[in-house]
C-alpha cells in the first residue's frame, strides 16, 4: 500500500475491517484464497454492480432520509469503494442525502446518533500542540482539508461540534464528484465551544459545553491550526466551511495570501452563481456588463457573488467603479447605502451614494434590476408582486433564489415561472421539481456549489498550486458555463446534469490548473498532456483486482 495510510500488509479479517480495502462479497474465489478470506464471507460472489443494486434497494426502502443517511454512512465505514461507486452512479438521488438538506438533520442529531468518529477534532485545550494532534491522523498524504468551527451550519446556526457532518459530507463529494482519493481527504472540526445553550444542557452533546472562544484567543488558535496543517501536510488545500459571518470574511482576508486555502461559502458560491449567470445570459443573449443586479442578503454568499461578478464585469471592460455600481445589496435593515451608519466593514465596498430604501419592492422600482439574487435565508421574500415587477421590467428576468434548504428559498420555482408568465430564468440553491405551466415544462437549475469546489480542488491538487485565487473561481465559472449544452438550454437548464459531474469537474480542474501555471502559482512543470494528467489523478472507486 502506498496511500500513506497502511504500513504493513493486511490479511484475513483485518482486510474486511478496513473500509479502504474491503470489497465484501465481491472478493473473488482466488482473492479469498490468497488473502486468507476463505470462509469469512458468505459463499455467493457478487460483482460491484450487483452490490450497488443491493445498496440502492436498501436505501430506497428506508423510511426517511435520515435513515438513508445513516445507512450510507455505515456503508462508508465498511466499504469505501462501494460507497463512492454507489454515490457516483446515483448522485442526483443521493447528494441530497449525503449533503444538503439531509446532512443538516444529521448534524442536528449528530451527538444523539454518534457511533464512531470520522475526522479530527481540535479544541482550545490543544493550543500549543495542534501539530501533534494532526500527526495522529493515520494518513500522511492529506491534500484536502475541509474545516469548520460549527458556528453557522447551513441555515441552522451554531451547532458546535455537531457540525462535523458538514466537512465529512463535503469531502464525500470531493471524492465522488472529482475523484479526490478519500485517503487524501481530512475533515476537521475546531471546537471552540458553542453559544447554543441548548447544547450545553444536553447531556449527550459530544462537544465542549462552554461558550465560544472570541477575539485574540480565537484568532491565535486558528492561526496555529492553519500553520500546523500546512506544515504537517505540505501541498494541502484548506477549505473553510460554515464559519460565522463575522469570522468568515476576516479569516479569508487573513489567510488567502499566506496559505493554499479558500472559503466555499464565499468563493465557491460565487463561482457557481457566476457560472449560472453566464449560462443564463448565453440563453437570453445578454451581456454580463449590461446587468443590474439586486441581491437580497449581504452575507457570505451574496457579497462573494457580488465581488466575483464585479471582477467578471471588469474583465469585460468596465472600471471597478462601474462594475461595483451595477451590484446593489439589501440586508435585513434595507438597501446598503453610504449614508447608513450601521454597516459592517465587509459591506462598505458596495455601499452606494443613493437614497435609502427600506424594502425590496421599493428597491426593485428604484434600481430596475435585470436580475435578482436571493441569499438572505428568508423564505417568500420574492413575492408575486416583485416577480411581476421583474417581468414588467425585463423580457427575460433572471431570478436566483439561492437560500437553503428548500423551505427557505426566496420563492419557489413554480412562483418564479407563474408570476413572470414563464419568462424567468430561474435557479435555486436547493432542488425544485420540474414545473408544468400552461402546457409548458420548466426544469429549474440548481446552483449547487458541488459544481465548483470539487473541480477547483482537483485542479489545485493536480497543479500543486500554492494559492487558491479568485481568478481560479472565475475560470471555473467560465468552464462550468461551457459545460452547459444546447440540449440543456432546450430543456431550460442553465447547469449541466449532475450525472456528468466527473467530466464537469475534470474540465474545471483543467481551467484552474491552467491559471496556476499561467500565474506561476506552482513550482511544478506543466505536464505535456495536462487534461490526461488531471484525469489520471482521479480516484476510481471501481474495485482493483488483488
Ligand atoms: P449569511 O448569514 O452570511 O448572510 C445572510 C444575509 O441575509 C445577511 O446579510 C442578512 O443581513 C441578510 N438578511 C437576513 N434577513 C433578511 C431580510 N429579511 N431581508 C434582507 N436580507 C436579510 O449567510 P450566507 O452564507 O450568505 O447564506 C445565505 C443563504 O444563502 C443561506 O440560506 C444559504 O443556504 C444560501 N446559500 C446558497 C448557496 C447556493 O445556492 N449554492 C451557497 C451558499 C449559501
- pLDDT (tens digit, 9 = 90+) per residue, 185-219? 999 999 999 999 999 999 999 999 999 999 999 99
- Grid coordinates in use for 144? 484536502
Ligand 1 atom showing the smallest separation from residue 428 Cα: 40
Average per-residue pLDDT in the chain?
A: 96
The enclosing domain of 183 has a CATH number of 3.40.50.10380
Q: Work out how many domains the chain is built from and give that number.
A: 3
Query: Are residues 72 and 117 both part of a single domain?
Result: no
Please check the confidence at residue 389 and state whether its pLDDT lies above 60: yes
Q: Tell me the HSE value of 148 on the side-chain side, using a 13 A CA sphere.
A: 31
| Other CB atoms within 10 A of residue 321 CB | 9
**Final residue before a domain boundary, out of 208, 239, 259:** 259
Give the residue ranges of DSSP H helices in 79-164. Answer: 80-89, 91-98, 102-108, 110-113, 130-135
Residue of the CA atom closest to atom 16 of ligand 1: 332
Please report how the helices 165-178 and 501-518 are oriented relative to each other, as an axis angle in degrees rounded to 10: 90
Check whether 1 has a pLDDT greater than 80: no
The closest residue, in CA terms, to atom 12 on ligand 1 is 297
Q: Do residues 435 and 297 both lie within one domain?
A: yes
| Residue 418 scores a pLDDT above 80 | yes
Instruction: For residue 357, give its domain range.
Output: 267-449
pLDDT tens, 98-153?
998 899 999 999 999 999 999 999 999 999 999 999 999 999 999 999 999 999 99
What pLDDT, on the 0 to 100 scale, is given for residue 4? Answer: 65
pLDDT computed for residue 462 by the predictor: 98
Report the C-alpha gap between 119 and 17 in whole angstroms.
18
Q: Is residue 134 part of a domain?
A: yes
Rounded mean pLDDT, 40-67: 98
C-alpha torsion sign, points 385, 389, 390, 396: positive
Res 3 pLDDT > 90: no
Binding-site residues, ligand 1, Cβ < 6 A: 154-155, 245, 265, 269, 272, 296-302, 330-332, 375-378, 402-404, 408, 429, 447-449
Exposure string for 197-229, b = 16+ CB within 10 A, e = fewer: eebbeeeebbbbbeebbeeeebeebbbbbbebb
288, 413: one domain: yes
Q: What is the pLDDT at residue 490?
A: 87
Query: Nearest residue CA, atom 4 of ligand 1?
Result: 299
- Of 247-251, 310-314, 343-347, 454-458, give the lowest mean pLDDT range: 343-347
- Among 82-96, 240-254, 307-321, 485-499, the range scoring the smallest mean pLDDT is 485-499
Cell numbers found for residue 480: 462550468
- In this structure, the answer to whether residues 378 and 394 fall within a common structural domain is yes
φ, ψ for residue 15 (rounded to 5)? -70, -45
What number is the average pLDDT over the span 379-393?
A: 98
Q: Are residues 90 and 41 in the same domain?
A: yes
| Nearest atom, ligand 1, residue 429 CA | 40
In the 8-state DSSP scheme, what is residue 266? I
pLDDT tops 70 at residue 325? yes
Residue 518 in grid coordinates: 499561467
Nearest CA to ligand 1 atom 3: 299
pLDDT (0 to 100) of residue 546: 79
Q: Which three cell numbers stand for residue 278?
A: 453566464
Mean pLDDT of 279-297: 97
Residues 273 and 391 in one domain: yes
**d(C-alpha 458, C-alpha 343), whole Å:** 37
Query: Which of the four pLDDT bands, split at 50, 70 and 90, describes residue 155?
Result: confident
5 pLDDT exceeds 80? no
* Active-site residue list: 99, 170
Ligand 1 atom nearest 376 alpha carbon:
7
Amino acid at each position: 500500500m502506498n496511500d500513506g495510510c497502511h504500513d504493513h500488509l493486511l490479511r484475513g479479517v483485518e482486510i474486511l475491517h478496513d473500509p479502504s480495502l474491503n470489497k465484501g462479497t465481491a472478493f473473488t474465489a482466488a482473492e479469498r484464497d490468497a488473502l486468507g478470506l476463505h470462509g469469512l464471507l458468505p459463499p455467493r460472489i457478487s460483482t460491484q454492480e450487483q452490490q450497488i443494486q443491493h445498496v440502492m434497494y436498501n436505501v430506497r426502502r428506508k423510511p426517511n432520509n435520515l435513515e438513508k443517511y445513516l445507512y450510507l454512512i455505515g456503508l462508508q465505514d465498511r466499504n469505501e469503494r462501494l460507497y463512492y461507486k454507489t454515490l457516483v452512479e446515483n448522485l442526483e438521488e443521493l447528494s441530497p442525502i449525503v449533503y444538503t438538506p439531509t446532512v443538516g438533520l444529521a448534524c442536528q442529531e449528530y451527538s444523539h446518533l454518534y457511533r464512531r468518529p470520522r475526522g479530527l477534532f481540535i479544541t482550545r485545550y490543544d493550543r500549543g500542540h495542534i501539530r501533534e494532534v494532526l500527526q495522529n491522523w493515520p494518513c500522511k498524504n492529506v491534500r484536502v482539508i475541509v474545516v469548520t468551527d460549527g458556528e453557522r451550519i447551513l441555515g441552522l446556526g451554531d451547532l458546535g461540534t455537531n457540525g462535523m457532518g458538514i466537512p465529512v459530507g463535503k469531502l464525500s463529494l470531493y471524492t465522488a464528484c472529482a475523484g479526490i482519493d478519500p485517503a487524501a481527504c481530512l475533515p476537521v472540526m475546531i471546537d471552540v465551544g458553542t453559544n447554543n445553550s441548548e447544547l450545553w444542557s444536553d447531556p449527550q452533546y459530544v462537544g465542549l459545553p462552554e461558550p465560544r472562544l472570541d477575539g485574540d484567543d480565537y484568532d491565535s488558535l486558528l492561526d496555529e491550526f492553519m500553520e500546523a496543517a500546512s506544515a504537517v501536510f505540505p501541498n494541502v488545500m484548506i477549505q473553510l466551511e460554515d464559519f460565522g459571518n463575522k469570522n468568515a470574511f476576516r479569516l479569508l482576508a487573513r489567510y488567502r495570501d499566506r496559505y493554499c486555502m479558500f472559503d466555499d461559502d464565499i468563493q465557491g458560491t460565487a463561482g457557481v452563481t457566476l457560472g449560472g449567470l453566464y449560462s443564463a445570459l448565453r440563453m437570453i443573449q445578454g451581456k454580463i456588463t449590461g446587468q443590474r443586479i439586486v441581491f437580497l442578503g449581504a452575507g457570505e454568499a451574496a457579497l462573494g457573488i457580488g465581488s466575483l461578478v464585479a471582477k467578471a464585469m471588469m474583465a469585460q471592460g468596465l472600471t471597478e467603479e462601474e462594475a461595483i455600481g451595477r451590484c446593489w445589496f439589501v440586508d435585513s435593515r434595507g438597501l446598503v447605502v453610504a449614508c447608513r451608519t450601521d454597516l459592517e466593514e465587509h459591506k462598505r465596498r458596495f455601499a452606494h451614494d443613493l437614497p435609502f430604501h427600506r424594502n425590496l419592492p421599493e428597491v426593485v422600482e428604484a434600481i430596475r434590476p435585470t436580475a435578482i439574487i436571493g441569499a438572505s435565508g428568508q423564505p417568500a421574500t420574492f413575492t408575486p408582486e416583485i416577480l411581476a415587477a421583474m417581468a414588467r421590467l425585463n423580457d427575460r428576468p433572471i431570478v436566483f433564489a439561492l437560500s437553503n434548504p428548500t423551505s427557505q428559498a426566496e420563492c419557489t420555482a413554480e412562483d418564479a415561472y407563474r408570476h413572470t408568465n414563464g419568462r424567468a430564468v430561474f435557479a435555486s440553491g436547493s432542488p425544485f421539481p420540474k414545473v408544468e405551466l400552461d402546457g409548458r415544462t420548466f426544469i429549474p437549475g440548481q446552483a449547487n456549489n458541488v459544481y465548483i469546489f470539487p473541480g477547483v480542488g482537483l485542479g489545485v491538487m493536480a497543479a500543486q498550486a500554492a494559492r487558491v485565487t479568485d481568478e481560479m473561481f472565475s475560470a471555473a465559472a467560465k468552464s462550468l458555463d461551457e459545460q452547459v449544452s444546447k440540449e440543456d438550454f432546450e430543456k431550460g437548464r442553465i447547469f449541466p446534469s449532475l450525472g456528468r459531474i466527473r467530466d464537469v469537474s475534470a474540465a474545471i480542474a483543467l481551467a484552474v490548473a491552467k491559471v496556476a501555471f499561467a500565474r506561476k502559482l506552482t513550482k511544478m512543470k506543466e505536464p505535456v498532456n495536462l487534461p490526461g494528467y488531471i484525469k489520471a489523478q482521479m480516484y476510481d472507486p471501481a474495485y482493483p483486482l488483488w
